[in-house]
Amino acid sequence: MSMQLELKNVYLKAGDQLKIKGEILRDAERFQIDLGCGADDVALHFNPRFHDDTDGSVLVCNSKIAGCWGDEKREIHNPLERGTEVKIVLKLAGDQFEVELPDGQEIQFPNRNGIDVISYIKIAGDLKLTSFKIC
């Protein structure tokens, strides 16, 4: 059962955090968390994949500017596992995004779009969302 949550007109500025808790489905293929200005302007596309054709279980980050995807950043060490509870913290830290994972791993991704306010959030895929908090 794939889920989708899409929020528009939110206001997240540098230093704010988005805390997401949920359960990764047992048969999960992937889920995504998008932060940006809209569906065609995504400053951070965080996309854990559990069965990627190239790298197996991998974390993929990317950005989309005016509807065009940039170059993917692939992190081979994916601590997220199917069928487990997960807490992910995302933060806009000026010129980059920081993603904190459950095992203490932190992924950094450049703010290619140069945005200083996030007004769009989308969470979709094989994740049962249990908590969503902006702080």
pLDDT-derived band of residue 80, with 50, 70 and 90 as boundaries?
very high
Would you list the domain boundaries of the chain? Answer: 3-123
Residue the block writes with tokens 């974390």 = 59
Please write the tens of the pLDDT for every residue from 58-70: 999 999 999 999 9
Q: Does domain 3-123 have CATH number 2.60.120.1060?
A: no
pLDDT-derived band of residue 1, with 50, 70 and 90 as boundaries?
low
The answer for residues whose C-beta is within 8 angstroms of residue 66's C-beta and 6 or more apart is 40, 41
Please write the tens of the pLDDT for every residue from 99-118: 999 989 999 999 999 999 99
The answer for residues whose C-beta is within 8 angstroms of residue 41's C-beta and 6 or more apart is 64, 65, 66, 113, 115, 120
Q: How far apart are alpha carbons 90 and 39 in whole angstroms? A: 18
Do you know the residue count of the chain? 135
What single-letter amino acid sits at 126?
D
